[in-house]
Amino acid sequence: MREVKVWDIVVRAGHWSLVVLFTAAYLSGEIEVETLHAWAGYAILAIVLFRILWGFVGTKYARFSEFVAGWRATADYARSLLAFRPKHYLGHNPLGGWMIVALLATLLLVCWSGLEVYAVQGKGPLAQTTLTPIAEARAHDDEGGKGSHESLWEDVHEALANFCLFLILLHVSGALGASLIHRENLVRAMVTGKKRLRE
């Protein structure tokens, strides 16, 4: 056995930070701890934007060009996985690569919809932009209650957060399944940055 460095500190720190921050944001949204929820959302947005940038300029296994495969390669990998003979990849396998893209895209949408909810309340960076016409939205809102505009964005935000949670559960299941099939500890690899390879 030998160890090979795969995940750099940026990928690992970003990954585990998103785990903590998404958990905090999701739970604080349920119990309506507004300040924690908002700041966790801002932090998630910053990390996701930086991770996308890192996907173009980062180390080898962090780059999208390394792990986002074409549809044919992805389908071939899926078939080999169903046959219990999947090809081993040092970085993300094709399905794992597309899951990363889906998670990053969904997190961006969750953050954007959260900013829209905040903007309708007259808060956050979108509050003074033309992206959310607050004056018009408030004019149509019932006095003293939540307006239809705010309720719509809250529904969208909650639906996207729940979809993101679903993707996260798929991601965890896939990582555990790949760990069993390839006899490697992917959780450990995301902590240490190293994978153990058989000679």
- Return the pLDDT at 16: 97
- Return the pLDDT at 124: 79
Please give the chain's pLDDT, 199 residues, in tens.
Answer: 688 999 999 999 999 999 999 999 999 987 766 789 999 999 999 999 999 999 999 999 999 999 999 999 999 999 998 888 888 888 999 999 999 999 999 999 999 999 998 888 888 788 776 454 544 554 455 444 455 767 888 999 999 999 999 999 999 999 998 888 888 889 999 999 998 876 5
- Return the pLDDT at 138: 47
Identify the H or E element spanning 3: strand 2-5
* Domains of the chain listed by start with CATH number: 2-197 (1.20.950.20)
- Return the pLDDT at 199: 58
Strand partners, 165: none
- Return the pLDDT at 126: 80
Report yes or no: 42 and 112 within 8 Å, Cβ to Cβ: no
